[in-house]
Structure formats: C-alpha cells, structure tokens
Structure 1
Amino acid sequence: MHIIICEDDEAQALVLKKYFHEYQSTHPSDSISFFSSGEELLQSIDRNPTIHFAFLDIELPGISGLELADILRKRYPHLLIIFITNHPEYISTAFKLHPDQYLLKPIQSQNLFAVMKSLQHEYFHSHIQYVENERRLITIAYSEIIYAEFYQNKLFVHSLSGDYTLEIEPKEMKQTLLDKGLIRTHQGFYVNPVHIKSIELDTVICSDQSQIPISHRARRNLIQQYTEKYATMFFHS
C-alpha cells in the first residue's frame, strides 16, 4: 500500500514522520512518501503511479491542498483523501471534494492511527487483495470489475484496470461478489450491473462491448435485480 503525505510545515512534517515511522513498524510492506508541495508530489507520482491514501495539508504553497485533491481525484477515483488543516472553517469548503477524513493540527498520534484503521477497513472491504507467486500484490476495486468468471479453482477478472487470473477459493469469493453487488448470469459468470450496457435474450453486453452468457434460469433474477437499481434500463428480447 502506498501512502503519500504533502505537508509544507517543517515542524508538522517531522511529527508526521515520527508517527508514520511508528506505523511502519507494524505495517512494513506499506510504502510512505513525504512531499512539501503539490508540484513536487505531482512530479513524483508520474514515476510512481500507485497511490492508496493521500494526507494533504489544505494550505500548501503554489497548488493548494484543495486543488491538489481535485487533480488526484480525477486521476485516482478510488484514492482515499485525508485533509490536514489548522482551520476548522476550511472543512466545509473541503467537503465538496468528498474527503474521506480530516485531521486538525496539532495532529495527535491516536487520532492519526484511528483514521488509518478506519480507512484501511474501508479499503480492504472495497478491494480484492491477492498476492501472485508470493511476490506481486494485485489490488482490484470491486467497483471496477466489469465481469468475473470462475473456472475450476481460478477466477478470471475483467476490470477497468485490466484482466487478471487469480487462483482463489471459489465458494467464498462467489458469495463475496454477490455481497458486493455483482449478479450471477450463468454457471461461473458474475456481472457488475454498473457496467451493463444492455441485456439481450441470452447475452449481457457490457459497457466495453464484452459479452457474457445468460442462462434461462438466471435471466429473470438478473433483470429483477438490475431494474431495482437502474430503472432506465432498456431490454431486448
């Protein structure tokens, strides 16, 4: 997991470095990057594009924390953003950018760790975390899954961020996909209703034009679940 902190106040940056050093002692696999300006941060993420959490001081020189959050949100829709500020009155302005949390200065370690615990819980429940060959960590947001297909003990995931093949226990993951809002269309096939373009007689057409089969048995349930959430659906028979 990659965490970035953008804080121009040297004293506060030192405090945060101390807290995150303590945090890393129990989370050694997480990487943490500190920046003193938005410009420096943006230059760096072009070289290291994966970010999971961003702690942003609202009052930064040059690009403000609010402007920086807007840029990052567009680039990383699922990024969790935490604003840092001396001024509680700025919070209402920041809310239009949908921050996930905020911290008031001077930051206390217990407040920081409570925020991290809460957001990690949210993150892990909204993403598949899979370690491939004991080396590469694959992270897939459930919301980005277009469809998933089970074959024997493997899960093929077709998502907005790419295609993945995971060796995974099918029974538990099938229930997880249903709990996350995907709908079963056929033996082994699950579709994300957010990415459905149309429902044909025996095929779902997805937003990227990929096609997945519909069994006669599953079609009624698929249409019922879809229409409960998306009343503007156009069906073809």
Structure 2
Amino acid sequence: MGICDDVPILQDVIESYIREYERQQKGFSFKISKFSSGEELIKEIENGGSYDLLFLDQKMKQLTGLETARQIRKLNSSASCRIVFVTSSDDHYQFRSVQPLMVIAKPVSMEMISEVLSIVTGLETAPANT
C-alpha cells in the first residue's frame, strides 16, 4: 500500500493508524511505501511498483491527488488499484471519474482508516456511494 502526501507528518499519521489497525486485528501486516509527490509515486509505478491500496492527498504542490490518480488509472498495471482520497474539500464529486474506493476528510482519524482497511481486508463491505 502507498501513502502519497507532500507533508511528511501526515504520511506518518496515516501510517501510525495502519499499524494500530494491524495490532488490533492481528494477522494483518501491510507493506507501506510513502511518497512526497504524485510524480514520485507515478515514477515508482512506471518502474514496476504495484499497490493494492493508495492513500492520495488531494492538495499537493505539483500534481494534485486527482491528477495523480488519473495518470495511475492510465497505467495498465495499476488499473485495479484501490484509491482513497484524503482531502479537506467538500467537493467529493470531482473524484468520481477515477472510481475511488472512498474519499475521507481531513483531519484523518483512526476510525476512518479502520473503515478503509476493513473494506480492503474483507471484514466490511464498501459503501454504495463513494
């Protein structure tokens, strides 16, 4: 799984919630890669990296999370990657074109990350309107 945010502390917050989920659920262990820009993430995917789940910050310095997701969707190897947008925007409709698993609001909470991970691990079903 990947976390893409241009603010390192926010990457660390999401990672800490994922690690807490691992402790709570026992039996799950996630490999996490962190990226500070959409460009860095796309380059990694173009070089063979693959991810089942990506957390993308919407507002980054160069490519936005949405622009990053559009490029990722164009890469055949990543067409089925689940994407979760992390945003302070209320306009969630803008993300529909890239079919995200979910859009979660900042500030991110343990409950939000747990919900996403429960869907990904099959412990919960995805909401109908994402």
For the aligned pair, the TM-score class normalised by the smaller chain equals 0.7 to 0.9
Contact kept in structure 1, 2:54 and 2:84, CA below 8 Å:
yes
Conservation of the 8 A alpha-carbon contact between 1:54 and 1:82: yes
Query: Please, what is the CA RMSD of the aligned residues?
Result: 1.8
User: By percentage of residues, which structure has more helix?
Assistant: 2
Per-residue deviation, 1:50: 2.0
Matching residue of 1:113: 114
SS across alignment from 1:31: coil
Shift of 1:48: 4.2
Shift of 1:87: 1.3
Offset of residue 103 of structure 1: 0.9
Amino acid at match of 1:80: R
Distance change (3 Å), C-alpha of 1:67 and 1:15: same
Contact kept, 8 Å, 2:42 with 2:71, in 1: the verdict is no
CA-to-aligned-CA distance 1:180-232 (integer Å, 9 cap, x gap): xxxxxxxxxxxxxxxxxxxxxxxxxxxxxxxxxxxxxxxxxxxxxxxxxxxxx
1:5/1:33 contact within 8 Å kept:
yes
Residue identity opposite 1:109 in structure 2:
M
TM-score by length of 1: 0.46
Count of residues in correspondence between the two structures: 118
Specify the code of the residue in structure 2 equivalent to 1:23. Y
- What amino acid does structure 1 have at the position aligned with 2:81? L
Does the 8 A contact of 1:58 with 1:85 survive in 2? yes
Which letter does structure 1 place at the counterpart of 2:89?
H
Matches of 2:105 and 2:117 in 1, distance apart? 15
Contact 2:15–2:32 (8 Å) recurs in 1: no
Q: How does 1:5-24 map to 2 (within 5 A)?
A: 5-24=3-22
Structure 2 Cα separation of the partners of residues 24 and 35 of structure 1: 21
Give the structure with the higher percent strand: 1
Matches within 5 A, 1:25-40: 25=23, 26=26, 27-28=28-29, 30-40=30-40
Task: Identify the residue that residue 166 of structure 1 maps to in structure 2.
Answer: none
Which residue matches 1:104? Answer: 105
Alpha-carbon offset, residue 88 of structure 1: 1.4
8 A Cα contact 1:58 1:65, kept in partner: yes
Aligned residue type for 1:20: I
Matched residue type, 2:84: I
- Per-residue deviation, 1:24: 4.1
Gaps of at least 5 residues in structure 2 are: 124-130
Question: Percentage identity across aligned positions?
Answer: 28
Distance in 1 between the 2:41 and 2:21 partners? 21
Distance 2:55 2:12 in 1: 14
Structure with more relative contact order (C-alpha pairs < 8 Å, separation 6 or more): 2
Answer yes or no: is 1:60 the counterpart of 2:63: no
